[in-house]
Amino acid sequence: MDITPNLLASLTGGKVEGDGDIKIIGFGKIEEAGPGYVTFIANPKYTHYLASTEASAVIVNEDFEYEGEIRPTLIRVKDAYSALAELLTAFEASKPQPSGIESPVFIAPGVEIPDGAYIGAFSYIGEGVKLGKGVKIYPQVYLGKGCEIGDGSTLRAGVKVYEGCRIGSRCILHSGVVVGADGFGFAPKGEIYEKIPQIGNVIIEDDVEIGANTCIDRATFGHTVIGRGTKLDNLVQIAHNVEIGENNVFAAQTGIAGSTKIGHSNRVGGQCGFAGHIHVGDENEFGAQSGIPNNVGNRNRLIGYPAIDARQFAKNQVYLRRLQDFFNKQNNKK
Amino acid sequence: MDITPNLLASLTGGKVEGDGDIKIIGFGKIEEAGPGYVTFIANPKYTHYLASTEASAVIVNEDFEYEGEIRPTLIRVKDAYSALAELLTAFEASKPQPSGIESPVFIAPGVEIPDGAYIGAFSYIGEGVKLGKGVKIYPQVYLGKGCEIGDGSTLRAGVKVYEGCRIGSRCILHSGVVVGADGFGFAPKGEIYEKIPQIGNVIIEDDVEIGANTCIDRATFGHTVIGRGTKLDNLVQIAHNVEIGENNVFAAQTGIAGSTKIGHSNRVGGQCGFAGHIHVGDENEFGAQSGIPNNVGNRNRLIGYPAIDARQFAKNQVYLRRLQDFFNKQNNKK
Amino acid sequence: MDITPNLLASLTGGKVEGDGDIKIIGFGKIEEAGPGYVTFIANPKYTHYLASTEASAVIVNEDFEYEGEIRPTLIRVKDAYSALAELLTAFEASKPQPSGIESPVFIAPGVEIPDGAYIGAFSYIGEGVKLGKGVKIYPQVYLGKGCEIGDGSTLRAGVKVYEGCRIGSRCILHSGVVVGADGFGFAPKGEIYEKIPQIGNVIIEDDVEIGANTCIDRATFGHTVIGRGTKLDNLVQIAHNVEIGENNVFAAQTGIAGSTKIGHSNRVGGQCGFAGHIHVGDENEFGAQSGIPNNVGNRNRLIGYPAIDARQFAKNQVYLRRLQDFFNKQNNKK
């Protein structure tokens, strides 16, 4: 079956303006997409590309306005970005998925491999591991004793999960993720540090995605928790006994120190650092590289080191820029 | 043998107050531990949980004071945190340890596997590697030519050690650690950069623990050194020719640039950055996210970007908060 | 053939002062090199070591000046650092290189292994992968479907490359590098985040070196690009659709957010963060831990959070240090 603007509109509940029957061969960015490609405009600052794009069709919001001639076919949808996500998901789902057990693998006696699962070569499935339906375990993955992986989760090549950790359904863990390494806990004893064994685990709830080389440490006791629907980018550090709620997004290289509790629906920029043993509420937004030393309530917009209200931060930058004039004035008054 | 408060007290040199014969089934945090569990109070700010905890026994410091009725059995010890570490260590040691050689593995001809060692599946032991007694090499580890691993050290799944590096005794390297990758050394030659081969190695002394995905680069010449008893958290970066002394702790995501020398017993917060070619003394404390551009002496408490005395940093924050008032005043005087 | 100062001089176009026939057994740093070793002085601040070094020969710049007696043989060259790089490269090239196919490996049917290639044990070569001449694929590497690796490139143990990514010639990827993991793209849909499939890829041009555990995400559409000759240190994060030009150097733990475009010949310190969707020109220098929120032109020297001109940053530090005095003065005037 050919892919056409009419088909895309029917998949996304959209309306076609222009030729609905041209053949679509791929997706592309508006500034790069060539003939036969479908693209999208979700952010108004890309609207001007409509004059020059060579794409054959453009997905736009239903209230999209443009003065001037429009050459490509438009597909008007409720939310262009979300419609794009749906189409790409359908496109991805149509690709052949890996399945079966490659060779060699190490599977401990007694472990059951469910139908439809994929176990890539050189993966290690320890004693007592439980795998959900349709799991995709790419090559070179390590699952320690007693781990549980929920239905439909995907662990890309080289993921390591230490013993006793639990990962929910429909999770995606990218290459190099380490789940359940020992928390950083030491008791000073004279001049040396004595290791405090970390006997808890990590629980990752459903629909979590974790970026490449991110680390989530096991709890000293109890659980380190990543709540349902939360997304962690690459190279993020989650220390022992941290508890994160639902539907948060954490950009790359952010770190959260031990025992901190974070609510739901927070958006955190890259390279932020959260102190240990603090509480952060819901629906906050943290600018990149912020340092958060203390408790935070709900619905704040913070940035800085230490993090303050984002408007105050912007004002302070103005004052700092004026500090030089200011000193000169004071010197002149002497 | 049942575990009881009397047994725990005898293991830690403590004294029992209350029923010393109840059966203990596990360890837990004071706010979560249920009946049958033993917990601890090391930090006075958790004392108030004593009224509500369901734990059966609580380890406290010998001078612990509490006004009110105490339901659980108390075990008074010299240092509650340290006693806890001892008990958890005994508990961990009682678990069955992996041993033997799994299959498949790659072991270069001539390498001797000592008695009591564990070599996990898919691990690669290169030519001339020397392994100490009781080493635990988890699956998917890589040991390049001529590496040495001391007695009783543990390399968790997926650790990579480049050729010629030496790791001491009783070390723990967590998953994803990379030891001995090339230092970042390039000589500009016109517009391009020419690689300077890195022909040194890395030496990790005894009793070092290294967190997940931490990187320690090999020296250009000579050695990059991590001193005895030093602990590195996850995602730490140690550049070529860095030399770190004994019993330091570095929290996650900290980076140390090339050729910097650091003494002993320093405590470094997360996400700190140390410039290259500097000297840092002993027993300093660095706040999280600090940037350290210059030499540092001994016994300082520093924070900030660039790092300054911690008290001065706190004062500056006050001044910055007052800067707005200040500008307003000056404007009114005009 | 013995290595002597005369031989080293002939290899680097240098002139010998002193005994040109002594036997050289290795390279070392000037403060550590013993008898039989050759060392170098490129930075004048190391000149004073010439009095005490035990090295047998020292490579110096042709205009090197020293008052006092010189015991070791000198080799005067145009550029000591560059000459050193050449000699070390020759030394490295003389070492035996790994070659052949170890066992076990997973090689998908139809993949051709070129002559002179090395495929280490436990490596996974997916369907349709194309390997250039002389590639060195160390153990435990993963190459997803359809990847291409150019002539003479080296992938150290445990590198992971997702499907469809292209790596040029003479590249070096260190252990733990992840190329082509999904970009961090989600569309908010009510309270949850819906994944936007990332259907682009990563293109790494020729002569790029990438440090341990660095992550380069695949593009949503199109390509994430690392330009020819650019060098990335360890633990760097490159987000989706970033495009980096030629001959840049990025120190460790730096992060670049999505869709940012960077020109050529920039030098970036450690732990810097670049915002998404910005443009950075050519030949800029960024101090460590800088935060770059906006577009940057050419040939700037910037530092700070947010990054400002480096001279202004230094002045601001002075003003901040004087702020305390300043407040006291103002209070006294009341």
Q: Do the Cβ atoms of B231 and A193 come within 8 Å?
A: yes
As a whole number of angstroms, the distance between CA B306 and CA C289 comes to 10
Exposed/middle/buried for residue A42 (C-beta within 10 Å: 0-12, 13-18, 19+): middle
The 10 Å Cβ neighbour count of residue B325 is 9
DSSP character string of C236-271: -EE-TT-EE-SS-EE-TT-EE-TT-EE-SS-EE-TT
- Give the count of Cβ contacts less than 8 A between chain A and C: 167
For residue A278, the distance in angstroms to the closest alpha carbon of chain C comes to 24
As a whole number of angstroms, the distance between CA B323 and CA A280 comes to 28
**Cα separations in angstroms, A6 against A40, A70, A216, B280, C148:** 15, 18, 45, 67, 36
pLDDT at A333 over 80: no
For residue C267, the distance in angstroms to the closest alpha carbon of chain B comes to 11
pTM of the model: 0.95
As a whole number of angstroms, the distance between CA B215 and CA C177 comes to 11
Encoded tokens for B61: 């410091």
As a whole number of angstroms, the distance between CA A248 and CA A233 comes to 11
**End-to-end CA separation in angstroms for chain B:** 84
Q: Do the Cβ atoms of C120 and B122 come within 8 Å?
A: no
Chain B residues in contact with C139 by the CB 8 A cut-off are 106, 124, 142
As a whole number of angstroms, the distance between CA B202 and CA B161 comes to 9
For residue A33, give the chain C residue with the closest CA.
C222
In sign, the C-alpha dihedral spanning B191, B196, B197, B201 is negative
Supply the ipTM of this predicted assembly: 0.94
Q: Do the Cβ atoms of A85 and C140 come within 8 Å?
A: no
Residues of C recognised as catalytic: 240
Chain B residues in contact with C209 by the CB 8 A cut-off are 182, 195
Q: Do the Cβ atoms of A288 and C193 come within 8 Å?
A: no
DSSP character string of A275-289: -TT-EE-SS-EE-TT
Residues of B recognised as catalytic: 240
For residue C43, the distance in angstroms to the closest alpha carbon of chain B comes to 12
pLDDT at A134 over 80: yes
Chain C residues in contact with A288 by the CB 8 A cut-off are 257, 273, 275, 291, 293
Q: Do the Cβ atoms of C196 and A88 come within 8 Å?
A: yes
Chain A residues in contact with B27 by the CB 8 A cut-off are 199, 221
* Spatial CA neighbour of C32 closest among B193, B264, B261: B261
Q: From the candidates C32, C175, C230, C316, which should be mutated to test the interface with B, based on the most B CB atoms within 10 A? A: C175
**pLDDT at site B45:** 84
For residue B316, give the chain A residue with the closest CA.
A306
Per-residue pLDDT of chain C (334 residues; tens, 9 = 90+): 689 999 999 999 999 999 999 999 989 989 889 999 999 999 888 999 999 999 999 999 999 999 889 999 999 999 999 999 999 998 888 888 999 999 999 999 999 999 899 999 999 999 999 999 999 999 999 999 999 999 999 999 999 999 999 999 999 999 999 999 999 999 998 999 999 999 999 999 999 999 999 999 999 999 999 999 999 999 999 999 999 999 999 999 999 999 999 999 999 999 999 999 999 999 999 999 999 999 999 999 999 999 999 999 998 888 887 877 777 776 666 5
**pLDDT at site C139:** 98
Pairing of β B201-204 and β B237-238: unpaired
Chain B residues in contact with A189 by the CB 8 A cut-off are 82, 85
pLDDT at A275 over 60: yes
Q: From the candidates C103, C178, C318, which should be mutated to test the interface with A, based on the most A CB atoms within 10 A? A: C178
Chain A residues in contact with C269 by the CB 8 A cut-off are none
As a whole number of angstroms, the distance between CA C118 and CA C101 comes to 6
As a whole number of angstroms, the distance between CA C157 and CA B158 comes to 10
* Helix ranges restricted to H, chain A: 5-12, 80-93, 310-333
Between B79, B88, B229, which is nearest A192 by CB? B229
Instruction: Identify the chains in contact with C, defined as 3+ C-beta pairs within 8 A.
Output: A, B
Q: From the candidates C122, C234, C248, C332, which should be mutated to test the interface with B, based on the most B CB atoms within 10 A? A: C234
For residue A328, give the chain C residue with the closest CA.
C319
Q: From the candidates A271, A316, A331, which should be mutated to test the interface with C, based on the most C CB atoms within 10 A? A: A271
Chain A residues in contact with C104 by the CB 8 A cut-off are 104
Between C85, C139, C211, which is nearest B142 by CB? C139
Q: From the candidates B153, B174, B175, which should be mutated to test the interface with A, based on the most A CB atoms within 10 A? A: B175
The 10 Å Cβ neighbour count of residue B179 is 31
List, edge to edge, every strand of the sheet that includes A15-17: A15-17, A73-77, A57-61, A37-41, A26-27
Parts of chain B with a pLDDT under 70: 1, 330-334
Long-range pairs of A146-155 with CB within 8 A, sequence gap ≥ 24: A150/A206
C-alpha radius of gyration, chain C, whole number = 25
Q: Do the Cβ atoms of B289 and A273 come within 8 Å?
A: yes
Encoded tokens for B193: 């950069």
For residue C96, give the chain B residue with the closest CA.
B145
DSSP structure class, residue B67: -
Q: Do the Cβ atoms of A327 and C329 come within 8 Å?
A: no
Q: Cα torsion at B55, B57, B58, B64 (round to 10°)?
A: 130
Between B178, B271, B291, which is nearest C213 by CB? B178
Encoded tokens for C238: 């490159």
As a whole number of angstroms, the distance between CA A129 and CA A108 comes to 8
Residues of A recognised as catalytic: 240
For residue C317, the distance in angstroms to the closest alpha carbon of chain B comes to 9
Encoded tokens for C222: 């199109």
**pLDDT at site B120:** 98
* Spatial CA neighbour of C243 closest among C225, C264, C270, C258: C225
Q: Do the Cβ atoms of B193 and C247 come within 8 Å?
A: yes
Chain B residues in contact with A184 by the CB 8 A cut-off are 211, 231, 233-234, 249, 251-252
Q: Identify the band that residue A316 occupies on the pLDDT scale cut at 50, 70 and 90.
A: confident
**β-bridge partners, B61:** B77
Encoded tokens for C187: 């569309």
As a whole number of angstroms, the distance between CA B319 and CA B325 comes to 10
Q: Do the Cβ atoms of C162 and A140 come within 8 Å?
A: no
Q: Do the Cβ atoms of A197 and B139 come within 8 Å?
A: no
Q: Do the Cβ atoms of B235 and A239 come within 8 Å?
A: no
Between A181, A189, A199, which is nearest B234 by CB? A181
What tens digit of pLDDT does each residue of B81-103 get?
999 999 999 888 888 899 999 99
For residue B222, give the chain C residue with the closest CA.
C28
Q: What is the mean pLDDT of chain A?
A: 95
Pairing of β B261-262 and β B243-244: parallel
